[in-house]
Amino acid sequence: MSSYRRSFVFLMAAALFVMPCMGQATQTNKLRDMRGVEVAVPVLPNRVATISDGFVEAVMTHLGVVERVKAIASWSMKRDYSYSFASRSGQSRVYSRGWNTMKYLNPWLDSLLCFNSPAGNILSFEALAAADPDLVILRLGDTPVGAGNREAAEKVMATIEALGLPLVVLYSPTWFGKNDLSTIKEEAAIIGRIFGQEAKAKSLGDYLYSTVELVGKRTAAIPDTKKTKILYLGLNPDVRKKGGTGLATGLDTPESFIIEAIAGAKNVFREKGSDKILNIEQIYALDPDVIILPTSNGYHPPVELYESSDFALLSELRAVKNRRVYAMPWTPMNASRRLEYPLDILIIAKAAYPELFADIKVHEYALSLYKGLYGVSDADAKGLRSAQWLDWTLDYDF
């Protein structure tokens, strides 16, 4: 969402720059973060502040140490999202209880201090200091501190360190732009190192990457002339107010990397950048085989493109006529890849090449993934699937 890429407003009270952090652990370990900076990290920190939209918390959940999180910087782990639209027949379709997976698994996160504004673009360093953390974990490229403004990110890091708080920095795939998703393995390994569980965290990274390898092997031999053309189209309603229809995702993005380098398809939008406004004529000129609908200032199910009056003029698109429109998992705040990112990969790959993935049902795979990531029961795995608004995969046996 574009609002989360605006420049940050910094609350830098002079007194805070010299405020000592109370209760810091005296024993520390040296740890090199993804900046290449050596950080003195408390041995098994007990008061962690996270600047992330769920990735850091998810890895800590997997490691069994998420209760050490004492302050967060994302409202996505507090909110109960709902979304609705009216069909051309006047029927109202309502989607409710769209949750961050961390809110579902750790509902107590809702009670924690959030040192960010509800809009997600004003970090309060005064509130962060008052939380008295013994460690701050910052994931750059995630929406609290996005990749669009490097100068703002530098100011965030400098301010946290000026407070005397140990800071470990991770780089999400979005930080790199078009980049191999294997960097997520490095992120997980660093978090594991913090809590003395590096081997378990590395195994987690390998488990996640196994889906990349599975999909890549099946799609590697597809010739260019046979590649499915995909349009990754955000249906942000604010775009329609500006005369556009949707937002396209360009070649230099992790989304395009999944489409082309992993799923073996073709991103039909050949420009660079993300959130590029397209009008109806431009979408028809692209005429994709498949349309993928991500979270884009709301949840957008396939039926919205099929039935909403807002998109009636797209009814002759090949992807719409052939019913080849698919929704991505609900990821509030549009954050960079989280632990559930293998679902993104599999949905895109199966949407592009259903015959190559006929043996894999996404609705079954989702349950297996949640259990593997979080050790949850079958009932909670189904709850997570519903929280990510993926029950359509069950309804259509996808």
At 45-62, the pLDDT tens digits run: 999 999 999 999 999 999
**Cβ 331 vs Cβ 351: under 8 Å:** no
What pairing do the DSSP bridges indicate for beta strands 276-278 and 266-267? Answer: unpaired
pLDDT for 61 equals 98
Evaluate if residue 2 carries a pLDDT over 50: no
Given pLDDT bands bounded at 50, 70 and 90, which one contains residue 90? confident
Given pLDDT bands bounded at 50, 70 and 90, which one contains residue 386? very high
pLDDT for 330 equals 95
List, for residues 103-143, the tens digit of each pLDDT value.
999 999 999 999 999 888 899 999 999 999 999 999 998 88
For the chain, the straight-line distance linking the first and the last C-alpha, in angstroms and rounded, comes to 28
CA atoms of 206 and 33, how far apart (whole Å) = 20
List, for residues 174-212, the tens digit of each pLDDT value.
888 656 788 899 999 999 999 999 999 999 999 999 999
Mean pLDDT of 335-361: 94
Evaluate if residue 9 carries a pLDDT over 50: no
pLDDT for 179 equals 64
pLDDT for 149 equals 83
Mean pLDDT of 158-176: 94
Which residues are 327's β-sheet partners? Answer: 293
Lowest mean pLDDT among 54-58, 255-259, 332-336: 332-336
CA atoms of 367 and 36, how far apart (whole Å) = 37
Domains for the chain: give ranges and CATH numbers: 2-208 (3.40.50.1980), 220-358 (3.40.50.1980)
Strands (E), 6-98: 28-32, 38-42, 48-51, 69-72, 81-86, 92-98
pLDDT for 18 equals 37
